[in-house]
Amino acid sequence: MTTGQSFGFERHGDKLNTPFFEEYLERLLEERDRVGLTQMIHGIEAIMLTVDPGHSISYIGEICLMTPYHYLVTLESEAHWTHILRIDMESPDLLIREVKDAGTRGIFRSLNEVYPIGARKPNSRYIGEVLGVSNLHETVSLQKEREFSFFSQDEIRRMEMPGNIAISKPSPYTHNIVSYLERPVGEIRVYALGLSSIRNDAQTAYLEAKDRQAASGLDRLLLPIDHLATRVYSQNREVAILEWLSWSSYYYWGSYDIKDQNSSTNVTKSVHHTQESHSPAKVFTASNTPYFVNHLERLPSPTETFVRNYGPRLHHIALGVRDGFTGGMENIEYIVDYIRQQGKGFLLDVIGSKEDGLKQIFSSASEHSSLIIEYVQRFGDFAGFFARQNVADLTLAAGCDEELQQILMQ
C-alpha cells in the first residue's frame, strides 16, 4: 500500500469500482501528496449558489430559520447582489448571489437551460465550493500543469465573482466549479467584490428567522453542514469522484450500492478535518445504469431522472443535528415538527432509529434554489457515516420531489 497523507484511511461500503478507478485513485493521490497539493489545499471555506431575481431575501429567511447560518453583509456589484451568510470561522460561509435582471445571461445560466426544470429557473443553481489554500499562486500553477483550466481575471471580473479567488471552469461531470482562496491562519474571510452594506430587507428577514429559532430552541439544536450531495449521470460516477479528489485534499471514504433503487452513494472526506462541520463531506450519487436501458431492465431510476431534468448539480445540503431530546422528542423529530408548523414540507417521515445509529430526513426542495435540506442526527458513539437502509429510503424519497413529479406527469 502506498503511504502518505492521502492514504491509510479505512474503505467503507460494498460498491465495486472498475480497475480504471482503483488504479488512478492511487496514482492521483500519490502524485497529489508528492507535489505538495494535499498539504497546500485545506478544507471548504465557502459554498456558492445563485438565485433568480427577487428570491434572495426570502431565501435568506428560509436558510436562517432552517440552519445555523447568520446574515452578515451584502456585496453589491453592477449585475448582482451577493449575500454573505456565516456560522463561524470554523465552518464554511454561504454565498447567495441574486441576478438583478432576469435577462442577464452567463455561463451558470447556460448550464441550466438545456434541462426541463433547470430552464424554469434559469438563474437558480448551485455554483460550487471555495477551498482554502496556503499559497494561491503555487496551487493554481501546479493545477495548470496537471491540465486543469481556470477562468482568467478578466473573466472573473465580467462574471462579478470575488477577485481574490481563483475559479475553475465548470466540471464536465458535475457542472460545479472549484475555487481557491488564500486566507492566512487567524484572519477572517474577505471577498473582494463590489460595495459592502447591510441591506434592511435582508436584515429584517434574518432577524425574524432567528427570533423564531430562539423562541423554539432550534438555535441550540442545529449544527453546521455535514455533507454536500451532488447527482451525476451514471457514466460519470467514477470520473466525477476522481476529478474532485484531484482538485481538493479529500480522500475516497467508500460507496454503497443501493441495488433496489438502481443507484450508488459515494463519499469523500477531508484528509485535514475529522469533523465534517469544519469541512463537509462531499457525496456523489449516480444511477447504476443509464436511462435508456430502463425500459429493458424495469428498474427505478430516481437519480438518473433527477439529472436528466435538473442537470448534474448539487441535490442537497445536509445539516447535523445535536444528539439528545427536546420536549420529550428526539431532536431531529422536534426540529422537523416545528419547521412543518412553519409551512415547510418534507419528502418523507424521519427514517432510521437509535439502533441504526442515526436518523435522517429530506425537506422538500426550496422554491428559491431548488436545493433540499437534509437533517442528520447521529446517536451516541455511532462511528459510521450512513446506514444502508437510510440511503435507500432517501434515494427513493428524492424521486418524490414535487417539481420532478409535475414534469414527469406532462
Write the DSSP assignment of 348-386 as a string of letters.
S--EEETTTTEEEEEBPPPTTT-PEEEEEEE-TT---S-
Give the domain extent around 63: 39-213
3-state SS, residue 3: coil
Mean pLDDT in each 10-residue stretch from start to end of the chain (410 residues)?
77 94 98 97 97 97 98 97 97 97 90 90 95 98 97 96 97 97 92 98 98 97 97 97 98 93 94 93 95 87 90 95 95 96 91 89 94 94 73 71 57
- Helices and strands (H, E) in the chain, number of each type: 14, 19
Q: Residue 160 maps to which CATH number?
A: 3.10.180.10
323-329's contacts with Cβ under 8 Å and 24+ in sequence apart are 323/377, 323/378, 323/379, 323/380, 324/221, 326/217, 326/221
Calpha distance 222→267 (Å, rounded)? 22
Calpha distance 202→9 (Å, rounded)? 43
User: Are 224 and 186 within one domain?
Assistant: no
Calpha distance 305→400 (Å, rounded)? 11
Residue 396: the pLDDT is 73
Calpha distance 227→247 (Å, rounded)? 17
Residue 403: the pLDDT is 64
Residue 404: the pLDDT is 58
User: Are 233 and 131 within one domain?
Assistant: no
User: Are 234 and 204 within one domain?
Assistant: no
User: Are 145 and 51 within one domain?
Assistant: yes
Task: Check if the beta carbon of residue 163 is closer than 8 Å to that of residue 157.
Answer: yes
- Written as nine digits, the cell of 333 is 423529530
Whether 110 is in a domain gets the answer yes
Task: Check if the beta carbon of residue 76 is closer than 8 Å to that of residue 98.
Answer: no
User: Are 230 and 325 within one domain?
Assistant: yes
With a threshold of 0.85, does the pTM exceed it? Answer: yes
User: Are 171 and 271 within one domain?
Assistant: no
- Written as nine digits, the cell of 256 is 454503497
User: Are 353 and 317 within one domain?
Assistant: yes
State the sign of the Cα–Cα–Cα–Cα dihedral 315, 230, 168, 308.
negative
User: Are 255 and 128 within one domain?
Assistant: no
- Return the DSSP state at 168: B
Whether 31 is in a domain gets the answer no
Residue 126: the pLDDT is 96
- Domain stops at, among 213, 234, 263: 213
Whether 19 is in a domain gets the answer no
Per-residue pLDDT of 304-314, as tens digits, reads: 999 999 999 99
- Domain stops at, among 213, 244, 271: 213
User: Are 80 and 207 within one domain?
Assistant: yes
CA distances from 356 to 185, 335, 340, 359 (A): 39, 20, 25, 8
Per-residue pLDDT of 159-178, as tens digits, reads: 999 999 999 999 999 999 99
Q: How many domains does the chain have?
A: 2
User: Are 64 and 183 within one domain?
Assistant: yes
Residue 1: the pLDDT is 38
User: Are 297 and 178 within one domain?
Assistant: no
